[in-house]
Every structure is written in C-alpha cells, then in structure tokens.
C-alpha cells in the first residue's frame, strides 16, 4: 500500500487477474441493464473461473471470512475513500490453498480502485494494487528517476501524457512497482511501463496500439 511493501510467482495469475479486471472493467454490470439482464450476467459470472482458479462470489460471502474482513477494515481505515467503492470478490475454488484464498477488487471506476489478495496460509495481505493520481505520480519516490530513463530510451514518449498510474505492492515477493501508462494524444497509442519503486529501474513494457 503506497508506503508498505507483498506476493510470489506462484500467485502471478491472480495478480494478473486483478490487474486485468481493473483495466478492462469487464465484470461491472451496466446501469442500463434491466434486473433480469443483470441477474443473468451475475449468474454467468459466478459459473466462470478466472485465471483458471477463481470464482466470483458475493461480497457478503467474502466478508464472512475473518481474514478478508480484517484486511478490508484495515484498508478502509487507511484509505476512507474506498468505503464507497463497489466490492467484487473472487474465491480460490481449485488450488487447495496453493494460491490466495480471496482476491478482492474495490472499484469506483477505471481510475479509482484498490485491489488486494488474502494469503491462504497466513491470512494476511499478499499483495495490493492501488490506483494513483496520474497528475501527481511524479512526486512519488523514484518515479521521476524512472521516467527520465524512459525518456532517454524512448524519446518519443516525452510528448506523451501520463494517462494512468497504479502501484503494486507484493508482500510475499517483497517488491513494489509503479505502472505508468503513457498515451499519445493524437494517435492514442499507449505504452505501459513498470518502474521499480525501490530503485527507479525500468521493468517489462506493454504496448497498446492505437484503435
């Protein structure tokens, strides 16, 4: 969580799951749908397995787990704005305690979210993914250093705007990184680059072509 830094490679599927959901918003039901359509969509979601392991469950079921409840209370206390966010919960129904037992996505919209997972064995947070204000992200430790390296290696990005940002704190793997998306205003081409929060070094890059 910004200042606290947890997660292992065995859980990268879940980490990718949470990130993909936050970026796509694919699991949010449109407000324009009627109740019958909404229920049908929810029933379809509950039958799916995400990342081959996680099944969508109700928020009340997830919060009945004492570790999930303790984690979300901790997050609400530290980041009160998340109390108004929608809760999307996913439960490990396959791995028999090999992965995180719950992945919880707190979401207001694609630019305001807080995702976390609860370790099956310890009951503690294993990772968090928190949205950041893209206009202020350069003020975070080592971000400017990383951005300068990006500009040096990819000069065309100097004209791009930082359109979104988030921070991943992996407590099991003991690392933290910032994900910054740079977008060209004209072509809409974007590039998402990770910056090691501890060193400012550049991490793997993801390109998104213009539509």
> Which pTM was predicted?
0.77
pLDDT (tens digit per residue) in 102-154: 999 999 999 999 999 999 999 999 999 999 999 999 999 999 999 999 999 99
> How many CB atoms lie under 10 A from the CB of residue 210?
10
Q: DSSP for 18-52, please give it.
A: HHHHHHH-TTPPPTTS-HHHHHHHHHHHHH-EETT
Least confidently predicted of 12-21, 83-92, 112-121, 197-206:
12-21
pLDDT (tens digit per residue) in 64-77: 999 999 999 999 99
Nearest of 147, 131, 140, 127 to residue 202 by alpha carbon: 147
Contacts of 86 (CB under 8 A, 6+ apart): 28, 106, 107, 108
Residues 100 and 93: their CA atoms lie apart, in Å, by: 10
Quick check: 19 pLDDT over 80? no
Q: Give the pLDDT band (50/70/90) at residue 98.
A: confident
Residues 118 and 66: their CA atoms lie apart, in Å, by: 11
Residues 71 and 77: their CA atoms lie apart, in Å, by: 10
Quick check: 33 pLDDT over 90? no
């Amino acid at each position: 969580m910004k200042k606290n830094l947890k997660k292992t490679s065995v859980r990268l599927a879940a980490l990718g799951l949470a990130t993909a959901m936050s970026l796509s918003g694919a699991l949010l039901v449109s407000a324009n749908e009627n109740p019958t359509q909404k229920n049908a969509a929810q029933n379809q979601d509950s039958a799916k397995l995400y990342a081959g392991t996680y099944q969508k469950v109700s928020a009340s079921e997830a919060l009945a787990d004492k570790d999930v409840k303790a984690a979300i209370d901790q997050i609400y206390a530290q980041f009160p704005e998340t109390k108004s966010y929608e809760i999307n919960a996913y439960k490990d129904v396959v791995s028999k305690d090999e992965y995180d037992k719950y992945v919880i996505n707190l979401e207001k919209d694609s630019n305001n979210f807080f995702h976390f997972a609860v370790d099956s064995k310890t009951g503690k947070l294993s990772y968090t993914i928190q949205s950041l204000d893209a206009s202020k992200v350069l003020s975070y430790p080592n971000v400017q250093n990383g951005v300068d390296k990006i500009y040096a290696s990819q000069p065309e990005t100097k004209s791009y705007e930082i359109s979104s940002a988030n921070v991943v704190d992996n407590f099991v793997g003991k690392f933290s990184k910032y994900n910054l998306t740079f977008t060209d205003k004209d072509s809409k081409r974007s590039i998402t680059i990770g910056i090691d929060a501890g060193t400012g070094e550049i991490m793997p890059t993801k390109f998104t072509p213009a539509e």
